[in-house]
Amino acid sequence: MKKPGNHPAFKVFQSVYILQMLWAFIVLGAIVLLHFVLALVIGDLQWIDRTALSALSNPMQVYMFVMGIIAGAYFLKHFIRHGVTRKHTFAGSLAAGFAVVVSLQVVALALTFLSYGFEAITPYEAGRETIAYLGEERGYILSMTINAALTLVYYLFGWLIGIGFYRFKVLRGFGFIVLAIFAIGITSTMWLPGSEMNVMGIPLHIIETKSLWVAFIITDTVLLFGVVLLYTIHRNAPVKPN
């Protein structure tokens, strides 16, 4: 029996997690630094009135979307050529994506509390505004959970775009872009105030009212659909030459 550390899926997880977290620290670190530089130049030492957890939510989603595209376009053939099965490549990459999403939430929360510490000893004023999901502030833990789920949607459907173009080429690949827009549109507007869901401004009269549990159920359903579709595509995906 293989030790966990020697399991192929764990090795994929380890490689992908380290790589994506390294890039995340570079990209998100540059964003944080830019905010502080602009605050010093402008003279208004505020975190744009928002907590770091709130301010970094959209950059984290965009970052994980790009990481998903890269995972779909390159990771499959890379790991298979190194003797890893499709199943282990998929499992390791999925677990790594989930772990990166959770880790980024923790980092953003740490930056939020760190900003409160700076406020106590410097002229810097820490932002206090958080994201109002369904029109209400939900507290740190629930906000992190919601944002992690939404960020994971971006990762999975970015991954679907990458693997869609890799396996099915351009024409059918565009179909995965449409699917991603639809899935991200539903889950994003699901958490906005009001009852209307929409995709790129087009209303979707799927449900008339929204609640916390309905929003979670729909988001989790979209996530499950993305995972199942990804696994189905990965299972028989050919390894193409460079």
Q: What are the Cα distances from residue 15, in Å, to 22, 88, 242?
A: 11, 13, 21
Question: Phi and psi for 131 in degrees, rounded to 5?
Answer: -75, 130
Mean pLDDT of 153-175: 91
Look up residue 114 and give its two tokens.
Answer: 């760190």
The predicted-structure confidence for 89-98, as pLDDT tens digits, reads as follows: 999 999 999 9
- Beta strands at 197-199 and 202-204: parallel, antiparallel or unpaired: antiparallel
- For residue 12, what are the contacts with CB-CB under 8 A and spacing of at least 6? 75, 79, 84, 88, 89, 91, 92, 93, 96
Q: Give yes or no for residue 177 having a pLDDT over 80.
A: yes
Per-residue pLDDT of 178-194, as tens digits, reads 999 999 988 988 887 65
Pick from 147, 122, 148: nearest CA to 47: 122
Percent of the chain with pLDDT over 70: 78
Query: Running DSSP on this structure, what letter comes out for residue 129?
Result: B
In contact, 56 and 108? CB cutoff 8 Å: yes
Using CA atoms, how far apart are residues 163 and 24, in angstroms rounded to an integer?
A: 22
CA separation, residue 79 to residues 21, 165, 209, 228 (Å) = 19, 18, 45, 20
